[in-house]
């Protein structure tokens, strides 16, 4: 652990020793502070790592890549890779790229995440991504979902945390009476 930290101090772009250390310790408490260093590494280095590793078969590399993309500014290339990863990852990992798509306010995602809107573990993050989308078609799908179901804690939370005034008003309407 200290070796990885030392290497990073000597070479601020040395991402591989940090990644190897995080993986070797299986993300346990001993290396959690390295995640902070990892996410604060040179942006170009982090971008290259994320794009090169996101479609890896290695689950740890998938996680680290998506985590890296969560701190990088949105761009079309990252968004495309995140969408591909949703299709390729196993169910246990799909939520991570969907969450970053929500953070990026990605558009045209209903077809991609629609199958997960009724999946127990992926429902909340999928709804969040759909609600955040800037696409009119995605927005209509989100409104249709709101109209078709009784609001649950996930939907209420999404509406409350929305940056859209219409969503806050919709949230208030649920508590009108």
SS3 58: coil
Looking at the predicted structure, is the pLDDT value of residue 2 above 80? Answer: no
State how far the Cα of 100 lies from the Cα of 78, in Å rounded to an integer: 10
Task: Pull the structure tokens for residue 96.
Answer: 């991570």
pLDDT attached to residue 38: 85
pLDDT band at residue 66, thresholds of 50, 70 and 90?
A: very high
Backbone angles phi, psi at 123, to 5 degrees: -60, -50
pLDDT attached to residue 121: 95
CA angle 162, 38, 68 (to 5 degrees): 40
pLDDT band at residue 29, thresholds of 50, 70 and 90?
A: confident
Task: Pull the structure tokens for residue 113.
Answer: 């995440």
pLDDT band at residue 4, thresholds of 50, 70 and 90?
A: low
Residue 123, CA distances (Å) to 120, 128, 131, 133 in order: 6, 9, 12, 15
pLDDT band at residue 25, thresholds of 50, 70 and 90?
A: confident
**Residues 159 and 170 sit within 8 Å (Cβ to Cβ):** yes
- Tens of pLDDT, residue by residue over 90-137, are 999 999 999 999 999 999 999 999 999 999 999 999 999 999 999 999
Residues constituting the chain? 177
Cβ neighbors of 130 (< 8 A, separation 6 or more) are 109, 110, 113, 117, 138, 141, 142, 145
């Amino acid at each position: 652990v200290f070796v990885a930290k030392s290497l990073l101090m000597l070479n601020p772009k040395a991402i591989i020793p940090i990644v190897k250390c995080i993986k070797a310790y299986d993300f346990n408490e001993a290396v959690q502070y390295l995640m902070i260093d990892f996410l604060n590494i040179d942006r170009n280095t982090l971008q290259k790592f994320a794009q090169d590793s996101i479609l890896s078969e290695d689950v740890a590399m998938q996680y680290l890549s998506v985590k890296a993309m969560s701190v990088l500014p949105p761009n079309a290339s990252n968004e495309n890779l995140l969408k591909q990863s949703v299709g390729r990852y196993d169910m246990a990992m799909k939520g991570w790229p969907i969450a970053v798509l929500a953070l990026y306010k990605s558009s045209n995602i209903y077809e991609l995440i629609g199958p997960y809107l009724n999946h127990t573990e992926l429902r909340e993050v999928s709804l969040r991504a759909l609600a955040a989308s800037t696409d009119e078609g995605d927005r209509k799908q989100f409104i249709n979902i709101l109209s078709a179901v009784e609001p649950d804690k996930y939907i209420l939370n999404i509406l409350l945390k929305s940056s859209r005034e219409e969503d806050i008003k919709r949230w208030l309407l649920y508590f009108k009476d």
